[in-house]
Amino acid sequence: MSCHWLTMQEAADHIKVHYTTIQKYIYKGKLKVSKPGGNIVRICLEDLQDFMEGKSGSSS
């Protein structure tokens, strides 16, 4: 699966919420993320869209 990866700030801008809201979604396991290394966190645009449509309930 090819994915367009977003930073947490880009994801927040995309769904019009504050950066800390994205952090809370991640912390609560509501939003799937990829951690390619170090403190880097990326969010797949498709996963973000699924989350917003209510299709994603928890991180795997």
Q: Do the domain assignments include residue 20?
A: yes
Residue 60 is predicted with a pLDDT of: 43
As given in the structure block, the two tokens for residue 4 are 């367009």
pLDDT tier at 56, thresholds 50, 70, 90: low
Residue 59 is predicted with a pLDDT of: 46
Q: Do the domain assignments include residue 40?
A: yes
Q: Do the domain assignments include residue 59?
A: no
Q: Do the domain assignments include residue 58?
A: no
pLDDT reading at 55 higher than 50: yes
Domain count, the chain: 1
Give dist(CA 43, CA 10) in Å, integer: 9
- The rounded mean pLDDT for the chain is 89
Q: Do the domain assignments include residue 25?
A: yes
Domain limits for position 25: 5-52
Q: Do the domain assignments include residue 18?
A: yes
Is residue 40 left, alpha or beta, with left meaning phi > 0 and alpha meaning psi from -120 to 50?
beta
Tell me the backbone φ, ψ of residue 6, rounded to 5 degrees.
Answer: -120, 150
- Over the stretch 3-29, which tens digit does the pLDDT of each residue have? 999 999 999 999 999 999 999 999 999
